[in-house]
Amino acid sequence: MLSYLLFFITVASILSIATLGLNLQWGISGQFNAGVVGFVAIGGYTLAVLSMPATERLLVQWNLPFAVALAASLVTSAAAALLVGLATLRLRSDYLAIATFGVGSAIQLLANNLEPLTGGSRGLVGIPRPFEALGAVGFAWAYAAIVLTLLALCYAALQALLHSPWGRVQRAMREDESVCAALGKNVVRLRLSSFVLGSVLMGLSGALYAGFVGTTSPSEFMPILTFQIWAMLIVGGSGSNRGAIAGTFVVWGLWTLSGAFIGLLLPPRWQAQAGALQSILVGLVLVLTLLLRPQGLLGARRAA
Amino acid sequence: MPILRRLAVPAAASLLVLASGQAAAQQDCPKLGGVLALTGAQGAIGKVIADAGKLAVDQVNKAGGVKGCQVEFVVRDDTSQPSVGLDAARFLVDVQKVHAIVGLVGSGTALQVVNSVSVPNKIPTVACCAVTPALTKLAEEGKTGGYFFRTIPVARSTALVHATTAIDKGYKKPVIMYINNDFGNGVAPDTKRAIEKLGGGVAGMVPYAENQPSYRSDVQKALAMNPDALILIGLSQDGTAVLRDWFALGGTQNVILHNTMRSPDVLKNVGEKFLEKAVGIDNAPASGPSADAFSRDFQAAYNRPAVGPGLQTMYDAAAVTLLAMQAAPKLDGPSIRDALRAVQDPQGEVVGTGVDGLKKGLDALKAGKKIRYVGATGPFTFDKNGDVIGPMLVWKVQGGNIVTERTFTTEEMQAIEKKVGL
């Protein structure tokens, strides 16, 4: 039981970091990123590629330590976000959403095809995990500690940013970009900075997950992940960092644990339908949240 | 906040109930976990696969159960998403204390579950459907600890038959054209290696991209290598297009096709007169009393024919695992892992599927006898990597019809595998 709880907290915390990134982009800065999964993938693949032990099949054989590869994954996701941000500078709302969705899918396809770099469709297996010498239990505790520390750091930094002048301008820009520009704010730079920072958090999340499970493959980075992160943010309350984290734990818990409960409650004859019921339940909670509490569990002041 | 509290209390309460329920139910009775894609992209095939697994468990229970207990089979949905599948596997192992896991449809899920649950927690895992070669490689590197098995023949089987056929036909310099995806990359390099191990050679390898309107440039590249035959590893649509360009540009009629092109539509669209010397490969359907009994029982239990991917392999995954649990001296990972091989003893008493077959197996094991399980997929044996090799066939086109030219039994396939030693 304890080992499962630890596992659940680790995964939910890793996902929370991505949700925090989306909250920065959407909840605070008002940029609709529908390609979350692309930046998660870049982070995950950077860590995997740089830390994989040398094999003849792979182009990059650096076998870097975990911490270095983790730092590098922040750099690559920042670089990718800067490129995407510059390319989509003139796009707003739904146009930005479509463009970023395309970018997310393109990154997944690149991972699927750049075989010498990413292992192609087979993915990369056997990414060295830190603290593996501590055994299964020690690894679980140590990794959970790292993830929770990083989550706390990200949260603290984002809270500080949110209440800084920079955060205030971001929120003002979310409400009315023209007014901001008229007041002499550099809208382009502001948009880019929050987009890049948010994407770096998504990259960090992807890198932490890859380091945790020790494998990565293109099938992990389907658009469903983007949808899940969005659902977590909406349920938790867009605009609130605490809400982003709470929403992640609630939605991920619902997504995974509902299956277990349905399995326990249903008579054996109906077990084969458990999967369908699970989907219905998840959808129901999302719809109910939107109907009864549109601002989310811990929503910010702004009404949708 | 109030919503959070309202959610949190029942959630915590039910978690406690769950935990205590687990503690109470946890004697030394075997528990089998299933991780399957019941919804999502692979949901359409996953549900029926789960039924096939359940049939095996029900029949074992009707045959008296394992170690004096009725086996509990807990199936969890991975929603076709690897991270959800990993969570399900962790929950099965950590909270519900299953002794083994069967299922695994998607390769991404299989990778995560094997790497993060089966190996560190020593949980024998028998996949019904995931064919990814990455797991064979992991096993070769000794990183699975021998805890990973699968009942579905891997792509390697098809590579062996491609190679054997090329050698048998006397092709000296075939060119291998293959689709550049997981499937093509899983078969083509092994085909080349197998041909070389069997003493032949290839003119070259030409990968091509999916969904192209024309493959002229790829075909020209292949023809420039001066091949005396073509081995084509593609899907039916792109395969048809490649063949049309191949014959249009004057390529030889000595072609060996993959099972994806074993269809009348392909023959018609390419033109039968070009395919008079063509042969193809395919998995041979298992035949014999075990396979028939499974088909009959499945039809009776679910009122639908046992047709579709993964049904036979899932039944065998569940059945062989339960037999292994009975054979294992203790219900722990290493014992069950070793027993999975022991219930396939070539010298053992042959036992089949269905309540009768499984009862015969369970009784023999209880009496301390050795058994050889022959499943819905026919006789099979796990190799050193936990993979299986299945029976195959070679087909050809005769008078506009697809007919079987020769078949390879499981034993012949094993002999070829040994000779090639991939």
Give the integer Cα–Cα distance in Å for B233 and B191: 10
Alpha-carbon gap: B165 to the closest alpha carbon of chain A (Å): 27
Alpha-carbon gap: B172 to the closest alpha carbon of chain A (Å): 28
| DSSP code at position B259 | G
| DSSP code at position A174 | H
Contact flag A122-B182 (C-beta cutoff 8 Å): yes
B344 in the same domain as B258: no
Give the integer Cα–Cα distance in Å for A73 and A149: 18
Contact flag B86-A213 (C-beta cutoff 8 Å): yes
B275 in the same domain as B215: yes
Residue corresponding to tokens 């309540």: B355
**Cβ-based neighbours of A222, under 8 Å, separated by 6 or more:** A37, A108, B41, B81
- Please check whether residue A10 lies inside any domain of the structure: yes
Question: Do β-strands B72-77 and B31-36 pair in parallel, antiparallel, or remain unpaired?
Answer: parallel
The set of long-range contacts for B218-222, using a CB threshold of 8 Å and a minimum separation of 24, is B218/B177, B218/B242, B218/B245, B219/B177, B219/B245, B219/B246, B219/B249, B219/B251, B220/B249, B222/B175, B222/B177, B222/B246, B222/B251
**Cβ-based neighbours of A256, under 8 Å, separated by 6 or more:** A8, B84, B87, B88, B91
DSSP string, B94-148: HTS--SEEEE--SHHHHHHHIIIIIHHHT--EEESS---HHHHHHHHTT-STT-E
Alpha-carbon gap: B107 to the closest alpha carbon of chain A (Å): 8
Q: Which of A50, A58, A213, A120 is nearest to B133 (CA)?
A: A120
Contact flag A224-B81 (C-beta cutoff 8 Å): yes
- Please check whether residue B198 lies inside any domain of the structure: yes
- Please check whether residue B298 lies inside any domain of the structure: no
pLDDT above 90 covers a percentage of chain A that reads: 68
**Cβ-based neighbours of A100, under 8 Å, separated by 6 or more:** A32, A33, A34, A35, A38, A84, A88
From chain A, the residues in CB contact with B79 under 8 A are 255, 275, 278-279
Alpha-carbon gap: B398 to the closest alpha carbon of chain A (Å): 37
Using CB atoms and an 8 Å cut-off, which of residues 73-112 of chain B contact chain A? Answer: 74-77, 79, 81-84, 86-88, 90-91, 94-96, 106-109, 111-112
- Please check whether residue A229 lies inside any domain of the structure: no
Is residue B10's pLDDT more than 60? no
B221 in the same domain as B91: no
Nearest Cβ partner for A272 among B51, B79, B96: B51
B110 in the same domain as B82: yes
Give the integer Cα–Cα distance in Å for B408 and B203: 26
> Structurally, how many domains does chain B consist of?
2
Contact flag A220-B88 (C-beta cutoff 8 Å): no
B79 in the same domain as B204: no
Using CB atoms and an 8 Å cut-off, which of residues 206-235 of chain B contact chain A? Answer: none
DSSP β-bridge partners for residue B150: B127
Give the integer Cα–Cα distance in Å for A47 and A65: 10
Provide the residue type at B308 as one letter. G
- Please check whether residue A260 lies inside any domain of the structure: no
From chain B, the residues in CB contact with A142 under 8 A are none
**Cβ-based neighbours of B210, under 8 Å, separated by 6 or more:** B179, B180, B181, B235, B238
- Please check whether residue A49 lies inside any domain of the structure: yes
Residue corresponding to tokens 């309107």: B213
Phi, psi torsion values for B231, nearest 5 degrees = -105, 115
Helices A241-265 and B2-25, packing angle to 10 deg: 40
DSSP string, B153-182: BPHHHHHHHHHHHHHHTT-SSEEEEEESSH
Provide the residue type at B36 as one letter. L
Contact flag B46-A298 (C-beta cutoff 8 Å): no
- Please check whether residue B220 lies inside any domain of the structure: yes
- Please check whether residue B199 lies inside any domain of the structure: yes
From chain B, the residues in CB contact with A291 under 8 A are none
pLDDT in tens, B367-420: 999 999 999 988 888 988 999 887 888 999 888 888 889 888 888 888 898 888
B83: its two tokens: 């991270």
B324 in the same domain as B415: no
Give the integer Cα–Cα distance in Å for B287 and A209: 45
> pLDDT tier at B19 (50, 70, 90 boundaries)?
very low
- Please check whether residue B373 lies inside any domain of the structure: no
Return the pLDDT at A206: 97
Contact flag B116-A214 (C-beta cutoff 8 Å): yes
- Please check whether residue B16 lies inside any domain of the structure: no
B89 in the same domain as B63: yes
Give the integer Cα–Cα distance in Å for B417 and B198: 11
Contact flag A256-B88 (C-beta cutoff 8 Å): yes
Question: Which of B17, B92, B112, B115 has the highest number of chain A CBs within 10 A, making it the mutation to test binding with A?
Answer: B112
Return the pLDDT at A9: 97
B162 in the same domain as B128: no
pLDDT in tens, A60-112: 888 899 999 999 999 999 999 999 999 998 888 889 999 999 999 999 989 98
**Cβ-based neighbours of B112, under 8 Å, separated by 6 or more:** A213, A215, A220, B82, B83, B85, B86
From chain A, the residues in CB contact with B110 under 8 A are none
Give the integer Cα–Cα distance in Å for B53 and B49: 6
- Please check whether residue A281 lies inside any domain of the structure: no
Q: Any idea which of A296-300, B142-146, B255-259 has the lowest mean pLDDT?
A: A296-300
Q: Is B61 on the interface with A (CB under 8 A)?
A: no
Q: Which of B92, B108, B161, B153 is nearest to B128 (CA)?
A: B153
pLDDT in tens, A213-251: 999 999 899 999 999 999 999 999 999 999 999 999 999
Q: Any idea which of A167-176, A205-214, B256-265 has the lowest mean pLDDT?
A: B256-265
Return the pLDDT at B419: 86
What's the CATH code of the domain at B242? 3.40.50.2300
Mean pLDDT of B355-361: 96
Domain span at A125: 2-221
> Structurally, how many domains does chain A consist of?
1
Contact flag A271-B51 (C-beta cutoff 8 Å): no
Nearest Cβ partner for A3 among B51, B94, B143: B94
Q: Which of A235, A222, A248 is nearest to A101 (CA)?
A: A222
Q: How much is the mean pLDDT over chain A? A: 90
- Please check whether residue B180 lies inside any domain of the structure: yes
Top-confidence residue, B322 or A56: B322
Contact flag B18-A261 (C-beta cutoff 8 Å): yes
Is residue B6's pLDDT more than 80? no
Mean pLDDT of B34-50: 85
Give the integer Cα–Cα distance in Å for B349 and B376: 17
From chain B, the residues in CB contact with A136 under 8 A are 120-121
From chain B, the residues in CB contact with A278 under 8 A are 39, 77, 79
- Please check whether residue A143 lies inside any domain of the structure: yes
Q: How far is CA A235 from the centre of its chain?
A: 15
From chain A, the residues in CB contact with B143 under 8 A are 126
Contact flag B77-A215 (C-beta cutoff 8 Å): no
Residue corresponding to tokens 């001066």: B226
Return the pLDDT at B358: 96
Contact flag B115-A126 (C-beta cutoff 8 Å): yes
B356 in the same domain as B252: no
B395 in the same domain as B341: no
B411 in the same domain as B278: yes
Q: Provide the sign of the torsion angle of the four alpha carbons A150, A155, A158, A164, taken in this order.
A: negative
Return the pLDDT at A301: 53
Contact flag B182-A278 (C-beta cutoff 8 Å): no
Return the pLDDT at B25: 45
- Please check whether residue B57 lies inside any domain of the structure: yes
pLDDT in tens, A8-38: 999 999 999 999 999 999 999 999 999 999 9
Nearest Cβ partner for A4 among B38, B50, B95: B95
Return the pLDDT at A7: 95
Domain span at B314: 30-152+310-366
> pLDDT tier at A47 (50, 70, 90 boundaries)?
very high
Helices and strands, number each (H, E), in chain B: 16, 15
Mean pLDDT of B11-36: 63
Q: Which of A114, A26, A15 is nearest to B84 (CA)?
A: A15
Is residue B27's pLDDT more than 60? no
Quote the ipTM score.
0.91
- Which residue from B minimizes the CA distance to A133? B120
Contact flag B185-A222 (C-beta cutoff 8 Å): no
B319 in the same domain as B199: no
Give the integer Cα–Cα distance in Å for B221 and B71: 58
CB burial string B280-305: b at 16+ within 10 A, e below: bbbbbebeeebbebbbebbeeeeeee
Q: How far is CA A105 from the centre of its chain?
A: 15
Is residue B319's pLDDT more than 90? yes
How many CB pairs below 8 A link A and B?
A: 145
Q: Provide the sign of the torsion angle of the four alpha carbons A106, B132, B103, B331, taken in this order.
A: negative
